[in-house]
Each structure stands twice: as structure tokens, then as C-alpha cells.
Structure 1
Amino acid sequence: MVTPSRIALARRRRGMTLAELSEAAGVSLQSLSNYETGRTTPRPGTLARLAATLDFPSAFFSSPDIDELPAEGISWRARSKTPPRVLEAARAAGGLAVQLHEWIEDRFRLPAPDVPTLSKPDPETAAEMVRRRWGLGSAPAPNMIHLLEAHGVRVFSLAPDYAEVDAFAVWQGPVPFVFLNTSKTGERSRFDAAHELGHLVMHGHDRQCTGPAAEKQANDFASAFLMPASSVLGHMPRSPHVDQILQAKTIWKVSAMALTYRLHDLGLLSDWQYRSACAELSKRGYRPAEPVGIRHETSQVLAKVFQGLRTTGVRPHHVAAQLAITVDELNKMLFGLTITAVEGGQSGPASTRGQHLNRV
């Protein structure tokens, strides 16, 4: 039995329109429409052509419906002119990650969600409240992915196909999810993680999580969360020059531009000094990139899961087969950890200390 919604999800995951899939697979447009709506079922030969074109195992299309992410509840951190098909492709990839999460949750006890929803406080206050709740005080934030995972946020990587999408977050029932683009610099990825945490905290399940106002709130939350006012004021002089900014950004592991914005926000840089610092940083290459940046942060939970699976003889290709996806599709969700953490027999780049997962 073919599951119609899976044909549509696989097509959207590849960023294809019905017309494009029709031409690539040699299937009529009307037939494809009927397959996706369930009016008719593709014959085995036709299904095989669709599977090959979409790069999914044939078994994928006969598995149960996937609980897809709600389109209206996603906070997109993406370029303003990002094509809808790219957003839909990223949402489809998120749906596959949720399927993986459910598979993992059936086998491991994951940290319970501990993300408050605070609709009334301003971003600065909300960031301070979350920091107090999580016992961070005014110290620089640790590894952001580890921190989110320790408080029950399920974090997955976005496939590199979607360079226009930096990150997105969504509540799926009581469980918060964050998806991060791994092609960004390590500093910008940390900011993206804090930005999406801001959406989860301030916009929750029922508030507008898109648009300029929501984006500014999430940006201000991220800035305050990563660079607490008391910490910045305690470390930085008034009117710091660019070399001092570049040296200090390593304290909070943020981009030079993000720290410059925070210094201006806290009154340590005047408007003129802020513009001058931004111009100088841009001239030195710090606007599009982060020369001599930090290493990318990766998932601790996923590394531990695949290490635990390895001890029982379960390899990534076994997991992929049970989910009816390719190993390449699986690896794109996992910050590339399946090779380093499992096949190489080592823990890979992610630290695995401080968090213990039990088998169910």
C-alpha cells in the first residue's frame, strides 16, 4: 500500500514542483496529482521510477504517514526573498528529522523539555529569566547545542541544500525542535541557536513568530542571552577600538559584528563609533565571514545515541533502513556525526561529557 502523503513529502524534500517531477520521472502531471491526493495508486514500475528520481528507497512510500511540522508554527531564519519551495524543502527535511527523533525516543530516555514560554517580558528580561532558570548566571554561554539538548530541545542539522535557510525552530506538541545550517561560521551558528531559542521562549505555541518585529525580538534575545549585560560591562571599556573587540569576542564566542552591535546597544559605543567599527570590521573581512573563527558546535545527544547503538551492533545503515531513507539523508540531519562517532569508533568532534542517556 502506497502512502500518498509520502510522495508529496519526498517531492517537497527535493524542492521539486509537480511539473518538474513529472518531466524527470516520465509520469504524467495528472497521474502525479492523483497519487499525491490518494485518488489512484502508482503501479510498482511507476513507483520505482519515482523512488529513483526522488532518491528515496521504494519502502519509504509504503510506510505510515509522517507527522509533519506545522507550516504556520515555524520561525524561519532565512533571507527575505527565499523561494517558498526552499522553505517547503526545509520543512520536509524537518519532518524526516522528527521521524528520526521518534525512533530514537522509543529506544533512549532523552532530557525532558525545560523551555519556558514567556510572552510578556521584553527580550533582555526574558533572556535573563531563562539564564537564571538554567543556572547560567552571567557567565558566557557554554556550547549552545549541548545547552539546548540538556534542556530538552531536539536539535538537528539542516541539509546543505538550503543555503538560504540559516535556521528554524518549531514546537511539535510539547517538544521544541531547532534546526541549524552547518555551513555558517561557528560563531554565527551559536547566534542562530540562541535566536531560535528566543522564538521558542517568546513566541511559544500561539504568538506570531515571523515578520520583522518577531525577528528583532529573537535577535535581541540572542544578543542578551549570549552576551549578558553585566558580563559585557564588566569586561569591556567604554569606546573600545576594533582590536579590543576582536580580542574580546572570544570570551562569548560570538561574531565581531554581534559583539559590536551589543556594545552599541549597551551604550559603550556611540552611533558614530558603532558605524566606524562596523566599517572597519567589514574592511577586514568580518561581515561575510569570521576569520580565525571557532570550531562548529555539534550534537552531544546524537553522538551518544549512535555510540550506544554501535555497542549493540546497530550501524547508521540499519537506522536508515528502518526509517526507509538513505544513509546520506540520515547523515544530513546529524551534523555529520554518523561517520566520526560510529564508523570511526571515536567520539568525533563533539564533547560527550556531562549528559547520560539511558536505554528504554
Structure 2
Amino acid sequence: MYLENMDKEFNPERFRVARLRRKMTYRKLAEQTGLSSKTISKYENDGINNPPSNDSLKKISQVLSYPVQFFFEDDIDEISTEAVSFRALSKMTAAQRDAAISAGRLSLIVNDYIQDNFELPKQDLRDLRNFEPEIAANAIREHWALGSRKIVNLIHLLESKGVRVFSLAENTLDVDAFSFWKDGVPFIFLNNKKSAERSRFDAAHELGHLLLHKHASPYDSAIDISLSSSRVAEQEADNFASAFLMPKVSMFSAAPNYITIDDVIELKSRWSVSAVSLIFRMHKLKLITEWQYRRLMEEASMRGYRKKEPNSIPREKSLIFEKIMPVLAKEGLGVKSFAKELKLPLDEVTNLMFMPTLI
């Protein structure tokens, strides 16, 4: 059985990760493989004692689009649901949540390989729990010597401070972004279906969670989430993101006395943020009145700026992946062979590394 894998046993936990990543229920996977739900359950829950046959494994591999070798490697590190900060948890289904967490677990495989073969920046985040969001944003800007200037590329900045940033190719707007700490290393995941401006805000939002809610869920429980605690944590991260991307000093120096929606479109490029985020920040800082805020928001909605950003900026990508892939290529590891080396599907690797167009 499994002639090419005789030295290793079938790993049911890896089977579970692949199934959840593809959002497959027992029933759906059974239907597409021609196996029974009971059999699928047996493989996942008692696969060491009752592993699939060669024929069954081949069917599973084809349906899930995971290489057979993937199911024979060591366990993938767990990511506790309680340790994960989801951007829009209340809107997510269990399947979406489990698929996103599974992507996070796959990223650990990619990260371990890169970390073992390259010298990466050490994490340089501060523990800012119990700080007010505005104060925390100023504190980390001071710690990183950013002053009040614009952050040109947020992903590059985060990576230079030791944050591992990965991309998510989730075909849903309900999975914005998420983050967690793992063995002292901060991770952020961004949905690449969002606008470039929204993605920057999501990255700053997740940085807020990493700093303000370090090593713990910002919620009361992974199962029975208190709406009040969830909203407080999300609002704190939103306020942090606004202050971090649009410092008060630069906002006060740039905002005109009377502002129109066209002024908003022109001004937003100063900080590479969305029109709506800029309007919200100006209102928060009392640079515009309540009446102006409502009028600008209404006009932004009428123009469709909530769905399609005007004068959109280029999408940010990982600098680390951009630098290491040519090095790996010189050693004979192109993207396809790199995925094969990791025993991962090509689409999972390219999606995580901001390269979905390569497949």
C-alpha cells in the first residue's frame, strides 16, 4: 500500500485540513469521490488505523486537488480559534472560518521553509494592550520612527518589522482579513478580492489587533461570542487603523476649511486610503461637522465609492516573496517545483504568496 510512501503513515489531520480548506462536508466529498460519508468520516477520525486504499486516496486527491504526498507528511501546527482575530467574524459561516484557518495553517508550512532557509526580519512590535487606539497608533509610529509621514507601502513596512503577511484568495466579501501570533511571530492574512485601499486598511486593522490584543482573542469566547466585546475590539482596531494611516498632525495640516467630495478624492492620495475612510477620519477629528459628514457620506454612496474606489492605487504585495523566489529559482526551485517541494497544491502556494495570476 502506498508504495512511494511506505516509510510514512497516512495523516488524518492533514486530510481534515485539506477537506476544510476546500469547504467540503463529508457528504459533499463523498458524493464527488463515490465513497460513503461514513467512509470519509472513518478516514478523518481513525485514518491511522483505517487508512484509505490506494484507489480511495487517488479519488480524494483528485477531488480536493491536493497531491497524494500531502497526506503523508507530519502534522501541521494547530492555530487555536481563540487566538485568531477575524475582521468580520459575525458575517462568516463556519465553513468560511474553517477554510480561512486552514489557509493559515498551510501558511505555516510555507513560513517554516522560508524561515529555515532565509534570514527574515525579527518582529519589532510593541505590546500595547490597554492603550487607547489613537495613543497606540502614535506609539508604534514613534517606535518605528515614522513621524507623521505617509506610509508608502504598508505590507513592506510590516514585513520589515517581522510580520508575516500572506494573501487569501477567498471568493467571498465576508472574509476580510485575520491575524494571530504563533510562537512569538505575528501573522496577517489579507483577502485579495478587496480594493487596494481597503486591503491597506485591513492590514492596519489587523496590526491594531496584534498590538492591542496580543496573544489573546479580542473576544470573550470562540464559540459564544459576546456582541459587545466583539464590537469593542473591532472598533478599537478600526480606530487604530485610521489613526495609524492618517496621523492627526498631517490631517490637520492638509484638510481645507470647507471640503467637497472632489476635495476628498484629491486628498485621499496623500495617505493612500479610501474616500470613505478619509471622510470618517475627518469627522472623528472634528475637521468637518456632522452635517458635512452626512452629506459627504451620502454623496460617496451615490457615486458608488463604497463598492468601487475612485483613482484607485496599485495593490500592495509581499516584498519578501518577491525577493526570495528569484533566489529559489536559481537553485532550481521555480514556483511549481517549490509547491511540489512543500507537498502543497500550486494554487494554495501562489495564492498565499500574492501570485494567483501565475496559475
Instruction: Please report the TM-score for the alignment, with normalisation by the length of structure 1.
Output: 0.91
With 149-158 and 178-187 compared, the bigger mean Cα shift is at 178-187
CA distance in 2: counterparts of 1:198 and 1:294, whole angstroms: 22
Of 146, 163, 183, the residue aligned with 2:156 is: 146
Distance 1:23 1:104, change over 3 A: same
- CA deviation string 1:27-49 (max 9, x = no partner): 22222222112252111111111
**Amino acid corresponding to residue 294 of structure 1 in structure 2:** I
2:45 to 18, 32, 37: 37
> Is 1:174 equivalent to 2:184 in the alignment?
yes
1:25 aligns with 2:33: yes
- 1:273-288 → structure 2 map (5 Å cutoff): 273-288=292-307
Partner of 1:272: 291
Indicate the residue corresponding to 1:346 in structure 2: none
Q: Following the alignment from structure 1 to structure 2, what is the Cα–Cα distance between the partners of residues 306 and 339?
A: 13
Correspondence for 2:202 among 186, 192, 195: 192
| Distance in structure 1 (CA, Å) of the matches to 2:78 and 2:205 | 23
Answering whether residue 341 of structure 2 is matched by residue 322 of structure 1, we say yes
> Is 1:296 the counterpart of 2:352 in the alignment?
no
In the alignment, structure 1 segments of 5+ residues that lack a partner are 341-360
Match for residue 4 of structure 2?
A: none
Deviation track 1:171-230 (CA, whole Å, cap 9, x = no partner) reads 112010000111111111110100000000000013525711100000000000000001
Aligned to 1:246: 265
- CA positional deviation for 1:292: 2.1
Q: Give unpaired runs (5+ residues) of structure 2.
A: 1-8, 220-228
Q: Where do 1:42-191 residues align within 5 Å? A: 42-78=52-88, 80-191=90-201
Contact 1:155 1:177 in 2 (8 A): yes
Q: Which amino acid aligns with 1:44?
A: N
1:165 maps to a residue whose letter is V
The whole-number CA distance in structure 1 between the counterparts of 2:70 and 2:288 is 55
Instruction: For residue 307 of structure 1, report the CA deviation from its aligned partner.
Output: 1.5
Distance in 1 between residues matched to 2:51 and 2:185, nearest whole Å: 34
Give distance in 1, aligned partners of 2:170 and 2:17.
18
Give the root-mean-square deviation of aligned CA atoms.
Answer: 1.6
Cα distance in structure 2, aligned partners of 1:2 and 1:108: 30
Matched residue type, 1:115: L
Instruction: Determine helix, strand or coil for the equivalent of 1:165.
Output: coil
User: Which range moves more in the overlay, 81-90 or 26-35?
Assistant: 26-35
**Helix, strand or coil at the partner of 1:156:** strand
Distance (whole Å) between structure 1 residues aligned to residue 255 and residue 310 of structure 2: 21
Task: Tell me the alpha carbon deviations over residues 254-311 of structure 1, each in whole angstroms, 9 at most, x when there is no partner.
Answer: 0000000000000011111100000011112211120220010011001101011122
Relative to structure 2, which stretch is displaced further, 324-333 or 103-112?
Answer: 324-333
Letter of the 2:207 partner, please give it.
Answer: L
Give the Cα–Cα distance (whole angstroms) in 2 for the partners of residues 245 and 114 of structure 1.
Answer: 34
The 8 Å contact of residues 168 and 196 in structure 1, kept in 2 or not, is answered as yes
Percent of pairs identical after alignment? 42
CA contact (8 A) 1:239 1:268 kept: no
- Alpha-carbon distance in structure 1 between the residues aligned to 2:217 and 2:128: 11
3-state SS, counterpart of residue 188 of structure 2? strand
* One-letter identity of the residue aligned with 2:29: L
Residues 320, 330 of structure 1: 8 Å contact kept: yes
Is the contact made by 1:19 and 1:29 (CA closer than 8 Å) also made in structure 2? yes
In the TM superposition, what is the alpha-carbon distance from 1:129 to its structure 2 partner?
0.4
Counting only pairs closer than 5 Å after superposition, residues 344-359 of structure 1 correspond to structure 2 as none
Aligned-residue offset at 1:142:
2.2
1:146-193 residue CA offsets vs partner (Å, 9 max, x unmatched): 000000000010024344211111111201000011111111111010
Asked if structure 1 preserves the Cα contact closer than 8 Å seen for 2:85 and 2:217, the reply is: no
1-structure distance, mates of 2:144, 2:152: 12
